[in-house]
């Protein structure tokens, strides 16, 4: 079994997203399963693996899901982990061709904040260096909460007809969530918490989950896009399993205090991990927030693994010979960002 490669701080910030794109000026390096150059990734063949079902006939979501956290994932036939550009450079997708995306990898439209709360969101965004902010609650090891935790970076799902349990390896530390499917209603005297109280019902093969009782100590997602919410937040999730490999999540968030209308998050997906993989013990360490960089007139984020002074690192003339910096279209995981 391969050891999962993950930067837990960055994964928490990006809500477990480990998709990084960076440029290597090497014309011949390729994925073993992508032997021919191409200008873009080829679509994967349709997955027709059967959906497992419980004894009551409903889809069984049980299993270990690794998302994109296992380093370079194995590519499906027809998929590419690399993309070759016209000048011979190679982009490596370090989330792997199988990475369906977790949490807020693709934030989509920001929440429809009311003006006064949008101003607060912009103030938080101004502290972001790359995709990290020292204001992020996960820096203090607070659970990501719902809806940010989503499908997690690595999680174990255990399901029976009465409940579904999600156990997260790193969100940002070991966290669990229970969704009750036995017909109960939300308590009337509910205390707020990071994961709230979740009840689910089936609409065909879709598990519809209703969550209330969430506190206001978590963020919705990425510091640059979606952060604050009130404790009146109401989250509706729709879980489906389109095939035996994939778990998919659609999410709508309501916040009558801070939003002008419901916020529909991008569809998130994760995939079943290797048969011998499992949740591994992790611990969340609080970060030295005083030393987390903020943008300034002298230091602004360029891209992951970029050098501020290539000449000093690689020798005179390296800066002029380097290809233009490429800003990732999605947040990466691991490594520090450079400035210019």
Other beta carbons within 10 Å of 204: 9
* Contact present, 143 and 149 (Cβ < 8 Å): yes
* Residue 37 lies inside a defined structural domain of this protein: no
The Cα 160–Cα 290 span in angstroms is 45
Domain co-membership, 242 together with 305: no
* Contact present, 247 and 269 (Cβ < 8 Å): yes
Domain co-membership, 183 together with 297: no
* Residue 133 lies inside a defined structural domain of this protein: yes
pLDDT in tens, 61-75: 999 998 643 333 344
Domain co-membership, 192 together with 113: yes
Considering its fold, how many domains does the chain have in total? 2
54: nearest Cα among 202, 217, 198, 266: 202
SS3 124: helix
Residue 90: CA count within 13 A, CB half-sphere: 17
Q: Which pLDDT score, from 0 to 100, does residue 305 have?
A: 58
Q: Which pLDDT score, from 0 to 100, does residue 319 have?
A: 67
Range(s) of the domain holding residue 302: 289-339
The Cα 242–Cα 14 span in angstroms is 25
What's the pLDDT band for 39 if we cut at 50, 70, 90?
very low
End residue of a domain, out of 215, 241, 271: 271
Domain co-membership, 166 together with 315: no
* Contact present, 137 and 219 (Cβ < 8 Å): yes
pLDDT in tens, 141-163: 999 999 999 998 799 999 999 99
298: nearest Cα among 123, 120, 129: 129
The Cα 135–Cα 138 span in angstroms is 9
Domain co-membership, 123 together with 258: yes
End residue of a domain, out of 271, 298, 322: 271
Longest dimension (CA), the chain: 69
What is the average per-residue pLDDT within 106-125?
A: 88
The Cα 230–Cα 253 span in angstroms is 11
* Residue 230 lies inside a defined structural domain of this protein: yes
Q: What percent of the chain has pLDDT over 90?
A: 51
Asked if omega into 67 is within 30° of 0 (cis), the reply is no
pLDDT at 334 over 70: no
Domain co-membership, 265 together with 293: no
* Residue 132 lies inside a defined structural domain of this protein: yes
End residue of a domain, out of 271, 298, 327: 271
The Cα 273–Cα 53 span in angstroms is 18
Count of residues in the chain:
340
* Residue 21 lies inside a defined structural domain of this protein: no
φ and ψ of 210, to 5 deg? -115, 120
Domain co-membership, 173 together with 306: no
Domain co-membership, 267 together with 317: no
Domain co-membership, 139 together with 256: yes
Q: Which pLDDT score, from 0 to 100, does residue 304 have?
A: 59
Q: Give me the long-range contacts of 305-308 (CB less than 8 A, separation at least 24).
A: 305/22, 305/335, 305/336, 305/337, 305/338, 306/337, 306/338, 306/339, 306/340, 307/338, 308/338, 308/339, 308/340
Three-state DSSP string of 152-213? CCCEEEEEECCEEEEEECCCCCCEEEEEECCCCCCCCCCCCECCCEEEEEEECCEEEEEEEC
Domain co-membership, 256 together with 303: no
CATH number, position 238: 2.40.128
Q: Which pLDDT score, from 0 to 100, does residue 316 have?
A: 80
Q: Is 11 exposed, middle or buried (0-12, 13-18, 19+ CB in 10 A)?
A: buried
Domain co-membership, 298 together with 260: no
pLDDT in tens, 244-299: 999 999 999 999 999 999 999 999 999 998 888 999 888 998 877 777 878 888 77
Q: What percent of the chain has pLDDT over 70?
A: 66
Q: Which pLDDT score, from 0 to 100, does residue 73 have?
A: 39
* Residue 205 lies inside a defined structural domain of this protein: yes
Pairing state between β 197-203 and 175-180:
parallel
* Residue 304 lies inside a defined structural domain of this protein: yes
Domain co-membership, 195 together with 315: no
User: Which strand (E) or helix (H) includes residue 64?
Assistant: strand 63-65
* Residue 80 lies inside a defined structural domain of this protein: no
């Amino acid at each position: 079994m391969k050891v999962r490669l993950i930067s837990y701080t960055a994964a928490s910030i990006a809500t477990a997203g480990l998709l990084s794109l960076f440029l290597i000026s090497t014309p011949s390096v390729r994925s073993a399963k992508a032997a021919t150059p191409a200008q873009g990734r080829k679509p994967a063949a349709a997955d027709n693996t059967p959906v497992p079902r419980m004894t009551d006939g409903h889809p069984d979501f049980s299993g270990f899901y690794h998302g994109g956290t296992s380093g370079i994932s194995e590519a499906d036939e027809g998929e590419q982990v690399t993309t070759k550009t016209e000048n011979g450079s190679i982009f490596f997708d370090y989330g792997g061709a199988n990475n369906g995306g977790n949490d807020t990898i693709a934030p989509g439209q920001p929440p429809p904040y009311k003006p006064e709360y949008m101003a607060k969101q912009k103030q938080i965004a101004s502290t972001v260096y790359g995709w990290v902010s020292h204001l992020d609650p996960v820096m203090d090891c607070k659970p990501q909460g719902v809806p940010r935790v989503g499908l997690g970076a690595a999680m174990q799902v255990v399901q029976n007809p009465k409940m579904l349990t999600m156990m997260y390896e790193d969100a940002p530390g070991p966290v669990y969530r229970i969704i009750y499917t036995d017909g109960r209603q939300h308590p009337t005297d509910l205390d707020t918490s990071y994961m709230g109280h979740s009840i689910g019902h089936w609409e065909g093969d879709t598990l519809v989950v209703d969550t209330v009782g969430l506190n206001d100590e978590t963020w919705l997602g990425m510091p640059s896009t979606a952060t604050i919410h009130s404790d009146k937040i109401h989250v509706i999730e729709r879980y489906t399993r389109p095939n035996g490999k994939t778990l998919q999540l659609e999410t709508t968030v309501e916040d009558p205090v801070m939003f002008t209308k419901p916020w529909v998050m991008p569809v998130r997906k994760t995939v079943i991990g290797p048969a011998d993989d499992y949740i591994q013990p992790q611990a969340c360490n609080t970060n030295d927030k005083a030393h987390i960089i903020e943008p300034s007139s002298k230091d602004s984020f360029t891209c992951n693994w970029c050098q501020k002074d290539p000449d000093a690192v690689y020798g005179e003339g390296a800066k002029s010979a380097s290809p233009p910096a490429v800003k990732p279209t999605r947040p990466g995981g691991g490594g520090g960002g450079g400035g210019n």
